[in-house]
Each structure stands twice: as C-alpha cells, then as structure tokens.
Amino acid sequence: MQLSGSIGSCHRSKEMHLKKALWSEGLLNEGSGGDDVSINTEKASESSTSSSSTAVEELVKSLSKERVYSEVTLALRSGLRDARAEFSFLRVRGLRSLLKSLRSLAHCDSSIRLFSHSQSIPDLQVVPVLFQHSLKESSENESLVESLDHIFSVDPMRITSPSTDAEVALALRVLEGCCLLHRESTVLAHRHKAVPVLMNILSTRGVLEQGACLDALISIMLDSSANQMEFEHCNGIEEVAELITDKQVDENLRLKCGEFLLLLIGHINGRERSTMASINEDIRRLLGEKSASLIWAASQFGSTLDPEQRLTALHIQARRVLESLDLY
C-alpha cells in the first residue's frame, strides 16, 4: 500500500505540529532537581521525593496526551470543515490537510489510538464526509431545476461544484489511510456502499483516480467480509482482469492491477475461511492457467521481509505477472 507515499502536502496553516511541549521539560527538570537535592538529605526523604517525581512524570504524560489529542481533533475539524465545502478547490484543500494529518499520525502507535478514538465521535468521522461530498455520485437530473421557487424567493440557490479528478483521487487516498489506521472505518465505508461507488470510479474515471481506487479497494476489503462479498457481487475481479489484459490501458495502471491481485490473493489465501473462496478459480478462468499459477505463487512473497523490501518485491512480481499475460 502507499499510505506514506500517497499522503501529500497541505497548507502550513493547517498542519498538525506534534512537537514536544516546552512546559514538559520544565516539569521533568524540576522533578529531577528534587532528586538531586534529596541525595544530600536523609534516606527518609528520598522515598517521598521519588514518589513526587513519579507523580510529576505521570502528570506530564497525561498533559502531553491531552495536548496531542487536542491537536488531532483540531486538525480533523479544520480539514473536515473544508471537505464539506460547496466548492471543489476548498474541498481539495481540506482533503490535503486530512492527508497530512494521517501521515503524521501513522508514525506513532499512540497517535493512531487517539485517531481511532476520535472516529467514534460522529462530528469527527472522516469516511462519511468523503462519500457525502467528494465521492458522491451525481445523477444526471441533479442539475435540473424542479421548480421556480428559488427565483421568487429571497434565499439564493445553493450550487455545489462537481468533484474534479484531483479531488476524487485525494478523497480515495484519505479513504485508504483511514481504513488502514482505523479498522472500523471499513464498516463506515460499507454503510455508504463504498464498493459499488469505487467500482463505478474504476470503470468510468481516468488513470489517476483508477490507481488510487485500486489501493482504496484493498484497504476497505482487508478483514472486512462484508466489503469482500460486495466486491464479488459487483464482479470486481472481472473488472480488474479486463483492465490488466487490455494492452491499450496505461502500463502503470496495468501494473497497479497486478499489485492489487497479488495483495488480494495473498490476503485471502492466508485465511482459513474466506468469503471469496472462488477467487482463484475466477482468476484462472479470466487470465489463464499459467498466469493464475504465477499470481498464486507470487502472492506468497516476502512474508519475512521489512515493509520497504515487501514493496519492492510487490513491484517486481507485478511486472512478472504483466509479462506472463503479454507472453501468452
């Protein structure tokens, strides 16, 4: 997956600065200074000083946790406010801010836990906002005027600009990041019919959105049997197979399809029971016996490798899958 690489830059005014608080060092130094003084006093006072120093450290940790949580919630509120805007350029700014925040959170387990806690608060939930605005499927009749009430009314007519290609791609990256950091976000995605929405993007949008869509699909299907069943119901494997076998399709997108199949097969084969038990047979039917066998064998790559080596191995194996399809 490309969480660290896909999470882009945002405006400095909305960055989440997780810096060490200045007052924390002062309190800790004060506590350690008390220890130095206690060394020259009686042993009876040493225990009391030690306990007070421990209390100071606990207070600093508690205050630091509250400070980080406040910064997390502030960054989310700021990004979500723009992500709900009527104009696309404001939504893009909000999505970039959210991506920057997710990238900062991904480096620390404690920050990930704080983000997970924040997603239990409806006003701070990111996934619903994505599907209500940037990933919302617009109907053909949406722009038609049903009545003339707005003409004779003093209230202006509300107009929402459509999502641009860049906005859709950013929204998909945010969705990917949320689902990778917070497992319950896959449940929220399922409630908003994420798989059908993403399959529509995969079949109708450009290369930029399609690549981000494949990464997002993997993230929402990890450990989510409901989304896996929805993917199978939408004939997702057929759609991906059609893209990877079409030599007119952009090569980078075909490689992304190969990576998608490798990750999906590897994940499903690692489960004793899977809702997509027939996926191996489907790939064999769609891509041929030799390519399907190569995908199955290559999907077992690098289980003991570090993340960077696994990513390199994934690219190499996807290239081999593509070469096997072009050869046969």
Instruction: Give the model confidence (pLDDT) of 249-301 as tens digits.
Output: 999 999 999 999 999 988 877 666 666 768 888 999 999 888 888 888 877 76
Max distance between CA atoms of the chain, in angstroms, equals 88
CATH fold label, 59-137+161-234? Leucine-rich Repeat Variant (1.25.10)
CA 238 to each of CA 203, 246, 280, 284: distance values in angstroms, whole numbers, following the listed order: 11, 12, 12, 11
**Residues 157, 147: Cα–Cα separation, whole Å:** 11
**Residues 78, 67: Cα–Cα separation, whole Å:** 16
Per-residue pLDDT of 172-214, as tens digits, reads 999 999 999 999 999 999 999 999 999 999 999 999 999 999 9
**Residues 324, 46: Cα–Cα separation, whole Å:** 73
224's tokens: 């989510």
Per-residue pLDDT of 14-36, as tens digits, reads 445 555 555 455 554 554 544 45
pTM of the model: 0.78
176's tokens: 């990917």
The residue type at 296: W
What angle (nearest 5°) sits at the alpha carbon of residue 183, between those of residues 97 and 74? 30
Q: How confident is the model at residue 128 (pLDDT cuts 50, 70, 90)?
A: very high
Q: Read out DSSP for 57-101?
A: HHHHHHHHHHHHHHHHHHHHHHHHHHHT-SSHHHHHHHHHHHHHH
Every domain of the chain with CATH number 1.25.10.10 lies at 59-137+161-234
Please choose, from the candidates 67, 76, 73, the residue with its C-alpha nearest in 3D space to the C-alpha of residue 18: 67
| For range 105-129, the mean pLDDT | 93
